[in-house]
Amino acid sequence: MHTVAEACRAVLLAGDPYAKVRLARTVARAWRRGGLTHVFNVAMPERPARPPRPELLPPSRMPKRGKGGSERGRIAMLHALAHIEFGAIDLAFDAAGRFGAEFPRGFVDDWIGVGADEAIHFALLDRRLKSLGSSYGALPAHDGLWEAAEQTAGDSLARLAVVPMILEARGLDVTPATVERLERVGDHRSAAILWRIYHDEIRHVGAGTRWFKTACESRGFEPISHWKRLTKTYFRGVLKPPFNDSARDEAGLSRDFYAGLAGARDV
């Protein structure tokens, strides 16, 4: 691997979770130290490699997890979060390798850094699952995150609008209540992991929002109205309140973007 695109592609093609984590962190170090050139000479794969487990099911067939009060419920919740973080490694490196040529070098700095963070998050959650007698792959999961990546593969602004500014921002809304429930049942170790992830995700949403605004302005789009146009085209879900306005605002994602859209499928 000599170029940043080759390195990003290698991360995406690492199917084994632990190999992906190691490679993500190795690539991030190499990039920080100047060991990779800012060259985009290879294409990103249509799909990343995946391990044989977990079994991937349609979202409609996923079993209900509950609120995490019982140990079984907490394992299911932590497994779902580990799967999100595993997919987020690929999302970050795909963004860097697929869209990096469109942006200044700082774009690659940010998304490789995000990918390294997601690798750490996954490792922390998997370690916690093992301490509870489980592990990543023990339960089914769904592929919704990568479906969002496929739908936005041809438009960098659509990718930023949907992935960090909607899907990752949702984590800012739900994590504080999840941490509170874990603390209430005495699972302080899991709560501490989620609290660390929460604070990192504010930075990640902030990176996505900042690059979205910068790119819109450089291309002659008004950011808020263009975000609404893109989400209407590319996001088929529902924006679910309540919103964590303070965390979103810290990330630069003001209420002007999403106010009035709560519960609306056609945003």
Q: Model confidence over 184-212: pLDDT tens digits?
A: 999 999 999 999 999 999 999 999 999 99
Sign of the CA dihedral 251, 254, 259, 265?
negative
Mean pLDDT of 67-72: 73
User: Phi and psi dihedrals of 51, rounded to 5?
Assistant: -70, 165
**Residue 17, φ and ψ in degrees, nearest 5:** -55, -40
Q: Domain extents for the chain?
A: 4-44+68-258
Residue with tokens 């959650």: 125
Q: Which has more pLDDT, 232 or 260?
A: 232
What band does 56 get if pLDDT is binned at 50, 70 and 90?
Answer: confident
Model confidence at 18: pLDDT above 50: yes
Predicted local distance difference test score (pLDDT) of residue 265: 43
Give the three-state DSSP class for 147.
helix
Measured at the CA of 14, the angle between CA 12 and CA 19, to 5 degrees, comes to 130
Cβ 36 vs Cβ 112: under 8 Å: no
Q: Is the pLDDT of residue 266 over 70?
A: no
- If you search the block for the tokens 């479906």, which residue do you land on? 147
CB-based burial, 131-154: b 16+ in 10 Å, e otherwise: ebebbbbebbbbbbbbebbebbee
CB neighbour class for 180 (10 Å; exposed up to 12, middle 13-18, buried from 19): exposed
Mean of pLDDT over the chain: 93
pLDDT tens-digit readout, 212-258? 999 999 999 999 999 999 999 999 888 888 999 999 999 999 999 99
Give how far Cα 15 sits from Cα of 113, 124, 155, 208, Å. Answer: 20, 19, 25, 26
Which pLDDT band holds residue 116 (cuts at 50, 70, 90)? Answer: very high
Residue 254 region, left (φ>0) first, then alpha (ψ -120 to 50), else beta? beta
Distance CA 239, CA 247 (A): 16
Which pLDDT does position 64 carry in this prediction?
67
Mean pLDDT of 153-178: 97
* pLDDT(67) > 80: no
Q: Say what the pLDDT of residue 240 is.
A: 86
Residue 120, SS3?
A: helix
